[in-house]
Amino acid sequence: MKRIISLLFAACLILAACAVQGPAQAPREAVSAASEVSIASGQPEPESDLEPEPEADNSWQLDAPQSHGMDPALFEQLHAVLAGSQIYAMVTAKDGVLIDEYYQEGYDESSVFALHSCSKSFTGALVGIAIEQGYFGGVDDLLSDYLPQVASLEEGKRQLTLRHLLTHTSGLEWYEWGGGYSNWREFQSAENWVAYILGRSLVAQPGTLFNYSTGNTHLLSAALTAATGMDELQYAEENLFGPLGMESVEWGRDPQGICDGGNGISMSARDAARFGQLYLQGGSWQGQQLVPANWVEASTSVQNPGPGGRTGQYGYQWWINSFGAKNYDTYFAFGAWGQYIFVVPELELVTVIASNYPNDSYAPWPYFTDYVLAAYREGA
């Protein structure tokens, strides 16, 4: 009888010990036990009725220019003249397919090119996404909401908004556009880029004067990082580059690790064309709205007159102008030394140019106007 009581007592102790096991271990043990039962019993695991979703095909489809109302002879002529140029790559898509590609010897569709200030248009897109996702309240949010150090600056700087940065109307002293003195090297060699930008003198009331500044866009990158808790590249990979299938992107950073939002992006010409195609499609890709349609519309609409002259007017980090003999309305990302992403909605056309013209960033324009745009045959 004592032996039976002892056995019962021991069993109770075992049960009690099992009862105090941590809850975090229970699911794992349960799964393990279930697996052992299944194996021991020889019963097959039930198959899921759900099939995995197929991966999106983000590869470019290729087609002949003449299948899309474009004269192939002009593209042949284009390739002939490009051979003696400083164009590294030139890619044109129409109706959502690639109809022409040119690469200088030594380069191909996998080559990565520095796009310089085309970076600004990518940063602008990410700001729009962040507003949609609630990280930013809107373009009239104060910069100090995200960079608290701004709150301790002079009154005019405390008034800075995201809109002022998006439209280059911050009023902060900056010398980058046109010839003459430039503070570019001073900015790039600063120990802290954000502090350097915010330390510039306020020479105009925010919102009153266009003054092109990579510093403005870098502040957007810093604000985006603070708002999302991710650096700009991480945020872009999750919300833009990943869904688009853009696998070639590289993005430089400042000494504090903030992505160089206004100048630091590099990628293949095909990936740059994907971005242009996304905007042409109103921010939609493979049935998914990556960039809000209203943001695409606002970004590519005139927000201010820009600097005057031939470059054009300005939206939110996009340039706006008309090109070609028929003055096709065009918006475009523009980087120093001749980097371009042209988008022509009327023709459903995107052209990307990567080049090396350190003394004339406008040098590639005739290749776009006199060959690509001129190749269109209405009604063909």
Please name the residues in contact with 229: beta carbons below 8 A apart, sequence gap of 6 or more: none
Better-predicted residue by pLDDT, 181 or 298: 298
Q: What is the pLDDT of residue 52?
A: 62
pLDDT at 221 over 90: yes
Provide the CATH number for the domain around residue 175: 3.40.710.10
Query: What are the CB-based long-range contacts (under 8 Å, 24+) for 232-240?
Result: 232/123, 232/126, 232/258, 232/259, 232/261, 233/259, 235/126, 235/129, 235/130, 236/122, 236/126, 239/126, 239/129, 239/133, 239/290, 240/122, 240/125, 240/126, 240/129, 240/290, 240/291
Average pLDDT, the chain: 89
DSSP state letter for 200: S
Q: Is residue 76 a part of any domain in this protein?
A: yes
Amino acid letter, 366 = P
DSSP state of 56: P
Residue 51 pLDDT grade (very low, low, confident, very high; cuts 50, 70, 90):
low
Share above pLDDT 70 across residues of the chain, in percent, rounded to a whole number: 85
Condensed to tens digits (0 to 9), the pLDDT of residues 177-189 reads 887 889 999 999 9
Separation of alpha carbons 161 and 146, rounded Å: 10
Residue 17 in this model has a pLDDT that exceeds 80: no
Domain count, the chain: 1
pLDDT of residue 53: 59
The residue range of the domain holding 152 is 65-375
Angle at 82 between CA 76 and CA 88, to 5 degrees: 125
Instruction: Classify residue 109: in a domain, yes or no.
Output: yes
Encode pLDDT of 237-256 as tens digits: 999 999 999 999 999 999 99
Of 248, 252, 250, 296, give the one whose Cα is nearest residue 276. 296
The pLDDT, as a whole number, for residue 55 is 62
The reply to whether 1 falls in a domain is no
What count of other Cβ atoms lies within 10 Å of the Cβ of residue 15?
9
**Residues 124, 128, 133, 137, Cα dihedral to 10°:** 100
Q: Specify the pLDDT at position 178.
A: 81
Q: How confident is the model at residue 58 (pLDDT cuts 50, 70, 90)?
A: confident
Does residue 38 form part of some domain? no
What pLDDT, on a 0 to 100 scale, did the predictor assign at position 350? 98
Q: Of 52-56, 93-97, 356-360, where does mean pLDDT reach its minimum?
A: 52-56
Does a structural domain hold residue 263? Answer: yes
* SS3 state of residue 275: helix
